[in-house]
Amino acid sequence: MRFAPTPDEPRLTPFPGGIRLPAHKEVSTQRPIAALPLLPLYVVPLRQHIGEPARPIVQAGDRVLRGQMIGRPEGYVSVGVHAPTSGRVLAVEPRPVPHPSGLADLCVVIEADGEDRAVEPTPLDWHVMDASSLRNRLREMGLAGLGGAVFPSFIKLNPGARRSIPILILNGAECEPWITCDDLLMRQRASEILLGAQIMRHMLGAQQVLVGIEDNKPQAIASMMEAAIGSDIRVVAVPSIYPAGGGKQLTYLLTGRETPAHGLTTDVGVQVFNVGTAYALYRAVVHGEPLTSRIVTVTGHVAAPGNFEVRLGTPIADLLAAAGGELTGATGRVIGGPMMGFELKDTAAPVTKAVNCVLVKDAVHFPPPPPALPCIRCGACARACPMRLSPHELYWYARHRDFGKTQALNLFDCIECGCCSYVCPSHIPLVDYYRFAKSEIWAREREKKAADEARARHEFRLQRLEREKQEKAERLAKKAAERLESGAVSAQDPDAERKRAILAAAIEKARKAKEGVQPRNVDDLPEAVRKEIASIDARRTGGNGADPTP
């Protein structure tokens, strides 16, 4: 069953490129969402979102309650982290985490006490709270995007200088194969999702709310349409073309507004949130619950695929066991989907806010990739690219480390969807080259920034030494002049002439030292900085701090 657009739906604007993929959605949609039972141990990473990791505010031996903050936001792009259950903190130490690098990261290890006691919830009256206070509370409650990017939600809910963002889009496309956590969430909790959308709408000042769902999810579409009855929220069925779930692609598909290169959807008056984020926001605002759990799909080569409501910090090994365990012949595990996911190195790693799917591979559906062959410049990758890039040229320059050319070809507009790699007849892992180029550029920018900061410190040190040299010379000259004026050198002194010459030389040396001091890093300074320097110099010389220039 597929839904055709109704007359009151927006006219769809197909985005460029994209591919049709085998969905494999039916594997994990045969059962409703199941809650994972309480476990004896949870490992909660402090880095679960884009930006700065949270700062631990508990230590080994502390008792915690479910929903209690255990990691405080550090810096602006950061959100809180909370305990998934009550118990005792065993350690705050590096543990394996789900990340492409396979490296460990700082985690809070909690031994559950089995009582699952929670902090007293504090619902938020969003109708009367000012927007800034509401955003700050959501920041403390750990709200971050649950669609993959894990960007702090309080930042996206700030319209900034625009004062309002006209269009809010809820992303229920879920275009990656195998993943069905959003599908099941929309089927079972549609009303709560749309209540979360209404709160988002209020905070953004949006006049229009659109819900985009791929047309291969008829039950989710029907459920969301029923929940939207009586409101002006429009649920729109969109074609099942990967990557329709990309924020920029869904925006173009539903509104016809094209996000500019290097830009954001907000540049064209649109903000996009995942349906899971809207549900988590509803729970946070209406029930006062911090983000301590999420829906995760477990699918592929397991005994009982399905979707589970999982507490953050749950070891993935326990999640796989809840799905009946891996079947014989499993060849690996992927976090996320097969197109944009990454290999899981260690099942001891816990579920985080970014984990939407654990996909167990087998040799039938995931055969070993064939060896890469030379590029034949067929153009298939360019036709499939949803960002209108030139993947074959990006590959060529990335491979030869010509990173300037890759940036000129808009490398950073690449969303790493994998369409180009999928259609490449030479089986070249194109996205791997793009990721390599991006990481090299970021590394060089960090090195350049560090070098610039070191040079600035060095030049400031030289300037300080010159100032100290000048001040010392001035002190010596002043002391020499005072001795001359006070008659400290007697005319009867046989060495009087020599001493006067020494004092006169000291005064002359101080004068020349003062003239020779050349300030550094003062070219093209902003007016405010120039005035501050002038004020400091004036205070040094006993002036009133006024700017000496007209």
CATH code (residue 265): 3.40.50.11540
Going by C-alpha positions, the residue among 340, 335, 328 that lies closest to residue 359 is 335
Checking if the pLDDT of 266 tops 60, the result is yes
Distances (CA, A) of 448 to 78, 400, 453, 454: 25, 21, 9, 10
Q: Do 398 and 275 reside in the same domain of the chain?
A: no
Q: Say how many CA atoms lie within 13 Å of 168 toward its Cβ.
A: 28
Q: Do 422 and 437 reside in the same domain of the chain?
A: yes
* Residue 389, in any domain of the structure: yes
Average pLDDT over residues 423-446: 95
Given 256, 288, 320, the domain boundary residue is 288
Confidence of residue 534 (pLDDT cuts 50, 70, 90): confident
* Residue 57, in any domain of the structure: no
Going by C-alpha positions, the residue among 258, 253, 334 that lies closest to residue 5 is 253
* Residue 301, in any domain of the structure: no
In sequence order, the β-bridge partners of residue 358 are 298, 335
Find the range with the poorest average confidence among 83-97, 146-160, 524-538. 524-538
In sequence order, the β-bridge partners of residue 273 are 170
Average pLDDT over residues 75-80: 94
Query: How far apart are alpha carbons 159 and 274 in whole angstroms?
Result: 17
Question: 522 or 278: which carries more pLDDT confidence?
Answer: 278
Q: Do 464 and 534 reside in the same domain of the chain?
A: no
pLDDT of residue 2: 42
pLDDT of residue 519: 55
Contacts of 2 (CB under 8 A, 6+ apart): 215, 216, 218, 237
Q: Do 527 and 456 reside in the same domain of the chain?
A: no
Contacts of 308 (CB under 8 A, 6+ apart): 33, 34, 35, 36, 295, 296, 298, 319, 322, 323
Query: How far apart are alpha carbons 169 and 259 in whole angstroms?
Result: 14
Task: Give the pair of three-digit tokens for residue 152.
Answer: 């702090």
pLDDT of residue 82: 98
Q: What angle do CA 435, 436, 441 make, to 5 degrees?
A: 100
Q: Do 489 and 547 reside in the same domain of the chain?
A: no
pLDDT of residue 498: 65
Given 262, 288, 314, the domain boundary residue is 288
Q: Say how many CA atoms lie within 13 Å of 14 toward its Cβ.
A: 8
pLDDT of residue 5: 45
pLDDT of residue 547: 44
Name the phi and psi angles at 214, rounded to 5.
-65, 145
* Residue 336, in any domain of the structure: no
Per DSSP, the chain holds a count of helices (H) and strands (E) of 15, 17
Q: Which amino acid is at 187?
A: R
Query: How far apart are alpha carbons 522 and 91 in whole angstroms?
Result: 50
Q: What angle do CA 359, 360, 363 make, to 5 degrees?
A: 125
Q: Do 533 and 496 reside in the same domain of the chain?
A: no
pLDDT of residue 511: 67
Q: Do 395 and 423 reside in the same domain of the chain?
A: yes
Distances (CA, A) of 263 to 163, 267, 269, 384: 18, 7, 12, 21
Tell me the pairing of strands 270-274 and 104-112: unpaired
* Residue 132, in any domain of the structure: yes
Given 270, 288, 306, the domain boundary residue is 288
Query: How far apart are alpha carbons 172 and 223 in whole angstroms?
Result: 12
Q: Do 402 and 443 reside in the same domain of the chain?
A: yes
Torsion of CA 541, 543, 549, 550, to 10 degrees: -170
Q: Do 164 and 208 reside in the same domain of the chain?
A: yes
Average pLDDT over residues 351-372: 95
pLDDT of residue 548: 40
Question: 226 or 527: which carries more pLDDT confidence?
Answer: 226
Q: Which amino acid is at 411?
A: L
Q: Do 175 and 159 reside in the same domain of the chain?
A: yes
Query: How far apart are alpha carbons 323 and 258 in whole angstroms?
Result: 41
* Residue 417, in any domain of the structure: yes
Q: Do 132 and 181 reside in the same domain of the chain?
A: yes
Find the range with the poorest average confidence among 317-321, 408-412, 445-449. 445-449
> Total structural domains in the chain?
3
In sequence order, the β-bridge partners of residue 112 are 87
Name the phi and psi angles at 43, rounded to 5.
-120, 110
Query: pLDDT digits over 313-322, tens only?
Result: 999 999 999 9
* Residue 471, in any domain of the structure: yes
Helices (H), 326-429: 380-384, 391-399, 403-408, 419-423
Name the phi and psi angles at 522, rounded to 5.
-120, 10
pLDDT of residue 513: 62
Contacts of 510 (CB under 8 A, 6+ apart): 470, 473, 474, 476, 477
Let me know: does 71 contact 92? Beta carbons within 8 Å. no
Express as a percent the part of the chain with pLDDT over 90: 76
Confidence of residue 482 (pLDDT cuts 50, 70, 90): confident
* Residue 158, in any domain of the structure: yes
Query: How far apart are alpha carbons 192 and 320 in whole angstroms?
Result: 28
- Beta strands, E only, 449-516: none
Question: 499 or 193: which carries more pLDDT confidence?
Answer: 193
Range of the domain at 424: 376-517
Query: How far apart are alpha carbons 318 and 316 in whole angstroms?
Result: 5
* Mean pLDDT, all residues of the chain: 89
Q: Do 510 and 396 reside in the same domain of the chain?
A: yes
